[in-house]
Each structure stands twice: as structure tokens, then as C-alpha cells.
A and B are shown apart, each in its own frame.
Chain A
Amino acid sequence: MNQYNRRQLLRAALLGGLGYGAMAGLSRYGFTAGLNAWYEKFRAANPWAEGMDAITVLRDALNGGPSALFVSQALAAGASPVSFLDIFMATSHDPRNFLNLTEFGNANDPTKTLVFPDAMNPAVKRDLLATHPAFAAAKVNKFFGDMLLSGKYMMNGTPTVLPNFTGLIGDIDPSKIAITSFVSYQGTGVHQQGAIPAAGSIAHMIQASAQLSPIGVAAFGAVSVIDNNMKSVSAGRKSKDFVATLDQLIATSYVDKSKDDGSSRGSNKQRIFDELNGNPEAVALRSQWLENLEKIRAEVADLKANYSSLGSGMFNVYGNINCDRAASIAVAAKLAKSGLGTVATVGLQTPDFHATDASRAPSGDSGNMVTAIAEAALGANVYIKSRLDARQDGVIFIRTCSGRSADWVQDSSTVSGLAIFIKGSSGSALSSIVSEYYGPTSTVLNGAFVDASTKAWAGGVLGLDGGTVTAAQVDGTVAQAVVNAAGRTLSIAPQAKLGRFKKV
């Protein structure tokens, strides 16, 4: 087939498929513009697609990765962009034993089967615990729940606040959290499966959704950071490094990034060049770009002033932990509140706690499982409070590679995830989406760490307080559920089999 014939065939196909008007448009504007027009129609028919690049989502799904469409729906649903926070706790083994190892369990163990004097050698405690069945999941749930809802952790019944977070934390009304749900998924690596994109993790979904942000992504910790082009490009950093990087990226360039005062020969040197093409929208887009930079500059200045010194938490007699990760979450909350960052990931990497590490005391950057949980809960509290204060919706994913294991020194091959949907805006769409995929909306905060054997290990974080248990589980992976959501919405065959949600 020669070029002429190919062209004729293509033209005939287009005429047959799209009609003369479309053909005329394509002739004049080219295929790119034609497909853009198709996309505009698609988006007009699907309001949830506003602000997102459907093709990016499709590409992601077709490449075998989890689609961000579910996230996109939520993004489109709220009156304001939904903000996401993904906290990944690379802890191992059963956190309940660590709660007992610190004095929480000692003071609050209702069975009093293990009562340790505070002064007992941690190694002795470790040996005793190693032969003792795990304590009730509700204990860790309560610890987590108390801290999540109050921003304080209980130390022998006394609420304790990390000093640098005073003012950031606050009591959260559980009824303002739309719903929480559990998902349990397994992969091939206890520590990595929740973090490796190829494993189909939530992190990948979050990463993909970064492309949907109108101004980019603010991400911390284990995944990535915002860059000069407002895209996620590199491995994460601690909050203080992150702030320094932002500052550096904004400040250093030959391209004039000064604020546009609107005049051709005014404050911004690019404007006169931009105006030459005579397109007012191109000039407007430049102004938008500069405005975004201005906002980031202002936020960076504030972040430098307030978050460069990080919180320090004392965990009983075991030492201080540098709460950098919780500070990162606070930074994410701040950027989200200002509309600058819509997605953040925070990695809480704790040491691998095998038996020999059981007595590790938190010190500086080195924490343990309890401190990781505490930081996650503390950060989540800050984030939720921020979203509610801003009257914006939000979603938090908290994942841990720690599951329950019969022998607490053994790894469990389970990654557990907790999704918290924050209903901060007056819109109802987020709730309906949550309801569709996660069951009826509940006003009760539920949750527990989940393991592979029992699926939902749910007592609910308020279980001890008589809260209703409605934890859900998914048979399959989060990735499957997300891809399925994409398939359903776009009427294409899902790339993965649907995970089925059910009550437990």
C-alpha cells in the first residue's frame, strides 16, 4: 500500500467512524487536536474527569499498573481537590509486643499476665515476650486510635503531647471521617511489597495520581519530592532536606521567575517574548506558572521558619525519637491546605525488629515499631485536622508491612492497609464514592491491623470503647480493585480480576 492509498484508507475510516465534520477538523488541526476534542467530549460526559488526564490514567492501567482512576474520581468529586497522604510503615513483626515491651502494655494489660517492672532488663522482657502469645489486637488499635483522634499518646494513662506539635494537633470528631476500611494484600517480600510499584501497591497509585495534580505533587519520605517542574522525580528526603531542596530549586535559575506585574516590560522578563505570539492564554498560563512559584516560595519561607527544627518525642524511659517523619506529614498537610500539594507519601522506615532488636530503644532517627505507629498516628491527626480546618476532603492510606504472627519473631508476609476518608467539604460525592467501593458509609472509625490468615483482624480502634465494627476486606489486591474501577468507569475490560469487598 503506497502513501496515497494509506491516506485514502485512513480518510475513509475517519469519515466512516467520525463523520465529515470530524474529518474536516482533523484535516485542519491534525490528529492531536482531534483527539483532544474527543477528550473534551469525554470529559464533558464524565464530570469526574475534570482536572485529570484520562489518557495518562489509561496508559497507566494498560501498562499493567494500577490505575489512578479511583483516585481521580475522588479528586473530581470534592468541591476542592482531594488531598492524599500515604504513610508506609516498614515495620516488621507484631507491634503489639512492642507496646508491651514499652510500658504501655505493662500498664494497660487487662489480663495482667505479664507484669514487668519498669526497671526490668529489656532483654529479659524480650525473652519473656517471645514465648508469650500475642496480646489482643485491640490494644494496638486503641493505642493507634487514641493517638490518631487526639494527637496525643497515652503513657500510663496520661496523655502526652510531643512539644513541637502543639498547635498542630487536635481532637478529631470521628463522625467527620467518612469511613475507614481495611485491605489486606500479599506479595513477595514482607517489607517491600507495599512499596514496590511492580507489586501493585497503593504507592504506585499515589504516584500515578501525582500526574493528575494541576500543579504537581508534594511528596516526602520514601517515594519522591516535588521538583522544579512540579513533578515527582526523586527519592524522598526528610522534611528539613525537602524544604532546603525546594528553596534551592526555586531560587536558582536564569529563567526569570519573578512575579508577573502584567506589563510587557515589567517585572518579568519573559512576558515580552510570550506576548509576541499574540495568544492571551499562553500569557495567562505563564502567569499561572509564576503564581504557583510564588505560592511555593511563600510556603517554603513558612516551612523553613516552622518545620526546620523537628519534634522530639520522649518514649518513657527508652529515649527520644526524632519525629522527622511526623514533621514531614505536617509539611504535607500545610502544602495540601494551601492547595500546593495534593499527594504526599511518607515512609516510616524503622529498624527490622528481629529478636535481637527487640530491646532497641528509640534514639534520634532510630525508632521502633511503637514510635513508628505513634508517628503515623500523630501525622495522620495533623493531616486530618488540617483537612477539616480547610473544609477540604482528604484520603489517608496507612500501610504497614507488619502483620500478626503467631511467633512474634517471625515475619508475616502481610501488608496491611488502612484507608481513612476525610469528609471535610460540604460536597457529598466523596462519600458516595467511598460507599460504592467500600460499603455503606459509617461514622465510626474502625480499624485494625490485618493479617493473611484471618484477613480482617478487626476489632476496630474504638473496639474497646464499644464502637461498631464494620471493617471490610478485599479478596485480592488493591491494584485489582483500582484497575477494576477503571474498567467499570471506562467500560473497558479490567486488567485484573476484581477484588470482592465483603463485610466481616
Chain B
Amino acid sequence: MRTWFERLAVMSFVISNAVACSAKSTLSSDLTVGASSSAKSAEAISGSKQLLDQKISKETKFKGVQGFLVKDSERLRNTINECLDAGLLSIKASMITAAAADAAAGRKVILGQTFSGALTSGKDIVEVLAADLYDPLLVARTDTSAGTLTLDYLGALATVADVVAWNCDFANPSARCNCGAPDGAKKILQRCIPSYSDAQIDNVAKVFASRCSGDLASKRAALASFLSSSTFAEAR
């Protein structure tokens, strides 16, 4: 039997979900009505959507997405090591070379020179960016906003994703990070975001696999796009 604390907690969870659902359904109904109404009402609805967008934008801009808990740096590292391959987080010298040389070689520079002071070959990118990825040791001492999806987190996660995509051996069909391998995309999703159902994953996996079927750059882009997503970032 639940204590009344737990019941209260459940109630507040239900209420908060209801509020969230209400916001979603309002937006949804606005859009639905807008599609079948006059230009004037569509205009008003469009304004309403804009207002909602502005509200979301204003609120999320400063404080991030409240209640959306992300993986801290340790968990992020462990997840990547376990659901993809170990060693993918290691920085390579070729990632931090000058732009001109890379462009001449037909490559993309992932990290850019700005990081050169902090990055050296062989270093772990998650470790370098830990402060932006909620280093649990740091968070425990000082930061009450830990775990919230923020612009900083998204930016840091994108860099991590770039490093992983660069390091992944797409030529190896048995590499766990190889989204271009048969069923590779779906398996990656199943391993990396296991809390989602097969039905939820199937739809996205098809797109993922399609994007990962091109050349090396496309494969890297496909993998990096998934790893830098809020869905992968979420701690659940």
C-alpha cells in the first residue's frame, strides 16, 4: 500500500502530465482547426501557435527543459561504450587539425582549433566536456540545475557525437556502431534507447537506416544526428 507521500507524488505527477498534455492538445487542436477554417481564423491560430512557440522558446532558452533529465557525463560515457563500442570517445589528432589542410584532403574538421588548448590526442571527449554534460562530481557540489536539457548540453553532446561518428569503423560490418550494417540502425536504437518499444523504434529505425546507407560522410552524419538527439540524451 502506498504511503500518502507516494500518493501525493503520484498525484503531482499526474497533474503535471495533465498540464503537459493539455498544452499539447491545445496546440494540436489549434493546428487542426486552423487547417479547416477561414484565412482569418487560420491567421489567429497561427498567432496562437507563435505565442506558444515564443513561450516555449523563452522558457527553454534560459533554463532548459525542466523535468527533462539527461544522462550525466558518466552515464553518457557508459551508454556509448556499452550500446556502441568502447574506444569511440577518444580524440584523434586528425580531429583537431587546421581547416585548410582538412578541406584540401576532402575531410571535415570536427573539433576545430578552438579546443586545441584543452584537447590532445587520446583524451576522452566526454571527460573534456564533462562540465557541460553534468559531471556528477561537480554537480553534487554546486549545481542545482543538473540533469536539465540545456543549450549547453546540446552543444556539448553534438561534439561528443561528432567524435564518436568519426571514430566508428563503418567498414566493419560487425562494428556495433555501424548503422549501415544490416539491421544495424535498428539494433543501435534497441541497445541505446531500450526503454522505447519496438513499435516506436521501428518507424525511426527505417529513416535512420536509410540515412546510413550512403557514403562514409552520410553514415557519420546519420550516427551523429542520433547521438546528439535529446532522445539519446534523456536519462530513462
Contacts and interface: CB of A to CB of B under 8 A. Distances in A.
Interface of A: 20-21, 23-25, 27-30, 32-33, 35-36, 38-40, 50-51, 53, 55-56, 58-59, 214-215, 225, 227-231, 233-235, 244-245, 248-249, 252-257, 265, 269-270, 272-277, 279-289, 292
B198 interface: no
Contact of A284 (B57, B102, B145, B231): B57
A24 B217 CA distance: 49
Contacts of A265: 207
B152 to A, nearest CB: 6
Contact of A28 (B13, B114, B142, B149): B13
Nearest to A269: B225
15 contacts: A32-B144, A33-B69, A53-B145, A214-B61, A234-B118, A248-B99, A257-B158, A270-B226, A273-B232, A282-B65, A282-B68, A285-B60, A285-B230, A286-B229, A292-B151
Contact of A279 (B114, B115, B142, B230): B230
B151 A288 contact: yes
B144 A234 contact: no
Given A253-B108, A288-B151, A245 B114 contact: yes
Nearest to B134: A32
Given A21-B8, A274-B229, A281-B59, A248 B109 contact: yes
A248 B67 contact: no
Contact of B161 (A51, A254, A274, A284): A254
Given A36-B148, A273-B226, A253 B110 contact: yes
Contacts of B129: 229
A288 B113 contact: no
A279 B113 CA distance: 35
B53 interface: yes
A276 B69 CA distance: 15
A36 B193 CA distance: 26
Given A38-B144, A253-B108, A288-B151, A233 B117 contact: yes
A255 B27 contact: no
B162 A253 contact: yes
B87 interface: no
A39 B149 contact: no
Contact of A35 (B68, B144, B161, B223): B144
Interface string B138-170: 010011111111111011101101100110000
A50 B102 CA distance: 42
Contact of A276 (B112, B115, B145, B200): B200
Contacts of A275: 231
A279 B65 CA distance: 9
Contact of B9 (A28, A257, A284): A28
B123 to A, nearest CB: 14
B83 interface: no
Contacts of A20: 5, 8
Contacts of A53: 145
Given A230-B155, A277-B231, A36 B144 contact: yes
Pick the most buried of A20, A230, A233, A273: most chain B CB atoms within 10 A of its CB.
Answer: A273
B231 A280 contact: no
Interface in B54-92: 56-57, 59-69
